[in-house]
Structure formats: C-alpha cells, structure tokens
C-alpha cells in the first residue's frame, strides 16, 4: 500500500482529501454517491476537489471504493503496438490537434449506433465532458483544450448507455479513464476508451483569467478558442476568434499558455501522476508524434508532416479490433515505443515541479493573475529564443532535429 492509499483508507467512511496530490478530480466519487452528498468545490487556485455534505452522507464508503487513489494498481495493459498515424480526410486532419485519429474512431462508433464522450467548450469559456451521437457534433469535441475538463455526471450517463447495450467511446486524460473504469468496476465489451498523452492540467480559473487578459478585459467578446491552429503549422500555436477576426494565441501572447508548456501551473496530482508508470488506461493512447522521423513519414505514403501526425498506441485486443475497422481511412506506419517516447517524455514519467511552480501557485493564490503576468515578463530571453525559433521554417526545423537526435 502506498502513502496516498493509506492516507485515504485510514479516513472514515467517506472521501476526505488530506493532501491535494491525492485527487485528480476525475469525478468518480461524485458519480458514485447515490445520496448526491458530494459536490466538486473550487480551491483558491481554481482546482476542484470533492466536498461531502455530512448531513446527506450515510457513510456507505462507496466514494472511497471507486477512488483510483485507493487502488494499488491501475491500468495493466500489455505492451502496446505503436504507430505513426494520420487520417486521410484532409478537412478532419486540419481541424484536429495531431493526426485526427480521435475523429476516425469516433465516427466508427457513431456508425455503429454509439455515443462519444469528450471535452467541449461550454458557456462562459468553460470546458466539460459531453456525449454526442451525431457526427456533426464531433466538431465540439475535436481539438485539445489545454485545461482540466469537468467530467460532471458523464460516468453515470456512460453506465446507463452501456446497460442499454449502446457502444460508448470515452476519451480523456489517463486519470479520467482510470476514474471511469474504477466507477464502473468492470469493463463492458461495448465500452471503448482512449487516453491522451498528458503532462498535466492547469485550472479553468487560470484559463479564464488569461482569456480576460489577452482580450483586454473583454472575455465575452471571444467567440472561439483554439489551442492548436494548423494554419500556423503543426505545433503548439493556437488562435482566438473575436468579432470574426483571428489573433494568435500561444506562448508568445499568453502567460497561461507559456506556463502550461513549461509545466509550471499544473494540478498537484499531475506532478505525482502515477499513470505513465502503471501502464496505459485506454484501449488506445493518442498523442502527437513529435520528432517523427522522415523514414517513418515515407512509410505512411504521401503525407505532409506539417499537417500533423498522431502517435497512436494500441493497448488492447479490443483496440486492435477497432483499429482494423478504421484502418482504410488512415495513413499508418508501424513504429515502436522507444521512438515514440524520445520526444514525448510524458509517456515515461510525470512532470517535475520546478521552484517556479510553488512561487507561481502561491503568487496566484495571493495576487491572482498579476502573478502570472509579472513572472512572464522575467522570461525575456526565452521569449526571444522562441520568437527566433518560430522564424525557422518547420521543414528545416524537422531536418535539424533529426540530425541532432542521431
Ligand atoms: C491537457 C492535455 C495535455 C496533452 N499533452 C500532450 C503531450 O504532452 N504530448 C502529446 O503528444 N499529446 C498531448 N496531448 C494530446 C494531444 O494534444 C491530442 O489531444 C491528441 O494527440 C489527440 O489528437 P487527435 O488529432 O487524434 O484528435 P483531436 O480532435 O485533437 O482530439 C482531441 C480529443 O481530446 C479530447 N480532449 C480535448 N481536451 C481535453 C481535455 N482538456 N481533457 C480531456 N480530454 C480532452 C477531446 O475530447 C477529443 O477526444 C494532450 C492533450 C490534453 C487535453
Ligand atoms: S460515504 Fe456514501 S453517502 Fe457518504 S459521500 Fe461517500 S458515497 Fe456518498
Ligand atoms: S474519485 Fe476522483 S475526484 Fe473523487 S477523490 Fe478520488 S481522485 Fe478525487
Ligand atoms: S498528468 Fe496525470 S493526474 Fe494530471 S491530468 Fe494528466 S493524467 Fe491526470
């Protein structure tokens, strides 16, 4: 039993988080409580934690039972088959963050009468998981939202759909997939899951503050946020739409995006994330195939890496079956785990907090978003280097990276 398990189990019959790193906000406990006694409450930095209304609680212990942090081991899939992959549909590829494998799988599930769950923008620039069973609605789920998505009551919805015999595809961070499985307590045949390569999530409050800042105090004028906009190439550059006009949203314009990429402002559980080490959670793992070698691109046949390539891990036999259902719509090349991990360390280990993490977090709690703005200015040299790097054409950048990694 590890420290966090004993800390939680030693508590009475209901869930109590004594240490913030022992909760990833998956929402399994909230979904499991038949009394509706648990709600998610925001802390000073905007991160959500479960709070129990003791007057409603009957001390059944169900919330403790379903919490992944009380489990010895989560996710024990075997050795994955690794691919470089991209959808052939160029419109979908353009709208997707990496190679668009999510949409290919989602469409196949909908074609079989299923429901797809993923993260979508909601009112007031919030992000939450929703379920859709219409291909036109998949646009809402497409694209990475680099913030913690609220799972709300979706685990219960999934349970009811599975019981009715509907196929369900649920996509989320590894901790969300682990939470869903712990909540269900079994793995029904009609459930398909994909976890994302994930280095951590900031809070929605931090993101809202940032959007207020970059919009000059008028977040209501933001019509759309994209963290990944391929009109700037396949990379970590996004855009904001305001009044029908597009502006860049990236580490050069947004303190939030800058600190997200540096790994400074994540939830505490992310710095102790157990998921990279304990095997994958989903039938699939989806990520960007950063640093994909030209040799592999050639094997995919006629793809332009600047359009985006997914790093696709197929973790289970169920995953292998579904892959054969979508294979015709993909450009695919077999790779291996070592190559995929080279530029994606999140597949191997959790993010490491630096001293700036504590300073920023405490600064944010005390002074709000001003702490991010003040810290951001001190990174003048990094901003200059980033600007210079952005001026190098991506094809040349890839060649240089390839030469340097030899
Ligand atoms: C917070 C976060 C961190 C990530 N970090 C990395 C990384 O370090 N390295 C890497 O290679 N890839 C990372 N990814 C994954 C990557 O950005 C793409 O999401 C992934 O490659 C799938 O892309 P796609 O082209 O197949 O489909 P897309 O259409 O881009 O699919 C996006 C899918 O991700 C889901 N999603 C979007 N935002 C969230 C969210 N906030 N929480 C849960 N699910 C969400 C959507 O519901 C959809 O299913 C991260 C994703 C997120 C959300
Ligand atoms: S112990 Fe039971 S009733 Fe109490 S909060 Fe947990 S699940 Fe709900
Ligand atoms: S079940 Fe999920 S949300 Fe609830 S305490 Fe455990 S990690 Fe946190
Ligand atoms: S880093 Fe780990 S704990 Fe944090 S959101 Fe990703 S999977 Fe969850």
Query: Based on the domain organization, do 54 and 203 belong to the same domain?
Result: no
Kindly give the number of the ligand 2 atom that is closest to the alpha carbon of 13: 1
Q: What is the pLDDT of residue 3?
A: 54
CATH code assigned at 42: 3.30.70
The answer, as to whether pTM is greater than 0.85, is yes
Query: Based on the domain organization, do 149 and 220 belong to the same domain?
Result: yes
Displacement of CA 322 from its chain's centroid (Å): 21
Q: And the tokens for 370?
A: 């001003």
Q: What is the spatial distance between Cα 195 and Cα 82, in angstroms, rounded to a whole number?
A: 14
Query: Based on the domain organization, do 359 and 251 belong to the same domain?
Result: yes
What domain range is 87 assigned to?
77-406
User: For residue 102, is it left (φ>0), alpha (ψ between -120 and 50) or beta?
Assistant: alpha
Q: For each of the chain's 406 residues, which pLDDT tens digit applies?
A: 455 554 554 445 899 998 999 999 999 999 999 999 999 999 999 999 999 999 999 999 999 999 999 987 777 667 899 999 999 999 999 999 999 999 999 999 999 999 999 999 999 999 999 999 999 999 999 999 999 999 999 999 999 999 999 999 999 999 999 999 999 998 899 999 999 999 999 999 999 999 999 999 999 999 999 999 999 999 999 999 999 999 999 999 999 999 999 999 999 999 999 988 778 999 999 999 999 999 999 999 989 999 999 999 999 999 999 999 999 999 999 999 999 998 888 888 999 998 899 999 999 999 999 999 999 999 988 888 888 887 777 777 777 777 776 6
Query: Based on the domain organization, do 81 and 191 belong to the same domain?
Result: yes
Cα 218 to ligand 4 centroid, rounded to whole Å: 31
Cα 279 to ligand 1 centroid, rounded to whole Å: 18
Find out whether 70 and 8 touch, Cβ atoms under 8 Å. yes
Pocket of ligand 4 (CB under 6 A): 24, 173-175, 198-201, 267, 269-270, 273, 275
Find out whether 357 and 264 touch, Cβ atoms under 8 Å. yes
* Domain's final residue, options 36, 52, 70: 70
* Domain's final residue, options 70, 95, 115: 70
Query: Based on the domain organization, do 348 and 331 belong to the same domain?
Result: yes
Q: What is the pLDDT of residue 10?
A: 43
Query: Based on the domain organization, do 154 and 27 belong to the same domain?
Result: no
Please, is 117 exposed, middle or buried when counting C-beta atoms within 10 Å of its C-beta (0-12, 13-18, 19+)?
buried
Q: What is the pLDDT of residue 12?
A: 53
The count of structural domains within the chain is 2
Looking at residue 150, what DSSP letter applies? Answer: B
- CB environment 156-195: b (16+ within 10 A), e (fewer): ebbbebbeeebbbbbbbbbbbbbbbbbbbeeeeebbbbbb
Query: Based on the domain organization, do 66 and 85 belong to the same domain?
Result: no
Query: Based on the domain organization, do 262 and 402 belong to the same domain?
Result: yes
Query: Based on the domain organization, do 19 and 139 belong to the same domain?
Result: no
Q: Tell me which residue of 42, 45, 43, 20 sits closest to 369, measured CA to CA.
A: 45
Query: Based on the domain organization, do 50 and 141 belong to the same domain?
Result: no
Q: What is the pLDDT of residue 401?
A: 75
Kindly give the number of the ligand 4 atom that is closest to the alpha carbon of 273: 2
Query: Based on the domain organization, do 304 and 269 belong to the same domain?
Result: yes
Strands (E), 108-254: 115-122, 126-132, 168-172, 191-196, 222-226, 238-242, 245-249
* Domain's final residue, options 39, 70, 101: 70
Query: Based on the domain organization, do 11 and 102 belong to the same domain?
Result: no
Q: Whose CA is nearest to atom 4 of ligand 3?
A: 29
């Amino acid at each position: 039993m590890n420290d966090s398990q004993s800390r939680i189990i030693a508590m009475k019959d209901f869930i109590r988080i004594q240490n913030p790193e022992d909760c990833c906000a998956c929402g399994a406990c909230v979904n499991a409580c038949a009394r509706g006694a648990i709600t998610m409450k925001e802390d000073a930095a905007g991160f959500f934690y479960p709070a129990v209304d003791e007057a409603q609680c009957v001390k059944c212990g169900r919330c403790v039972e379903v919490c992944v942090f009380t489990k010895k081991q989560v996710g024990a899939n075997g050795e994955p088959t690794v691919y470089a992959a991209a959808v052939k549909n160029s419109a979908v590829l353009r709208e997707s963050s990496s190679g668009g494998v999510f949409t290919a799988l989602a469409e196949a599930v909908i074609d079989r009468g299923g429901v797809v769950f993923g993260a979508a923008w909601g009112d007031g620039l919030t992000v939450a998981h929703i379920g859709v069973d219409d291909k036109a609605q998949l646009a809402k789920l497409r694209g990475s939202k680099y913030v913690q998505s609220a799972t709300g009551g979706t685990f219960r919805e999934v349970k009811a759909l599975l019981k009715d015999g509907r196929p369900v595809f649920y996509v989320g961070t590894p901790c969300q997939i682990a939470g869903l499985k712990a909540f269900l307590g079994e793995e029904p045949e009609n459930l398909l899951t994909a976890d994302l390569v994930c280095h951590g999530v900031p809070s929605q409050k931090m993101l809202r503050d940032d959007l207020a800042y970059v919009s000059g105090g008028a977040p209501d004028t933001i019509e759309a946020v994209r963290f990944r906009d391929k009109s700037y190439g396949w990379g970590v550059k996004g855009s904001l739409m305001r009044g029908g006009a597009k502006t860049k949203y990236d580490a050069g314009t947004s303190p939030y995006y800058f600190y997200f990429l540096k790994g400074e402002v994540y939830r505490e559980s992310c710095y102790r994330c157990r998921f990279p080490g304990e095997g994958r959670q989903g039938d699939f793992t989806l990520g960007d195939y950063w640093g994909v070698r030209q040799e592999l691109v050639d094997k995919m046949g006629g793809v332009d890496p600047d359009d985006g390539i997914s790093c696709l891990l197929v973790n289970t036999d169920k995953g292998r079956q579904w892959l054969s259902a979508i294979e015709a719509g993909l450009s695919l090349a077999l790779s291996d785990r070592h190559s995929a991990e080279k530029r994606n360390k999140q597949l191997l280990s959790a993010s490491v907090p630096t001293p700036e993490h504590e300073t920023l977090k405490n600064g944010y709690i005390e002074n709000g978003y001003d702490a991010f703005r003040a810290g951001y200015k001190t990174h003048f040299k990094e901003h200059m280097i980033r600007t210079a790097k952005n001026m190098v054409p991506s094809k040349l950048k890839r060649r240089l990276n390839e030469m340097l990694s030899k």
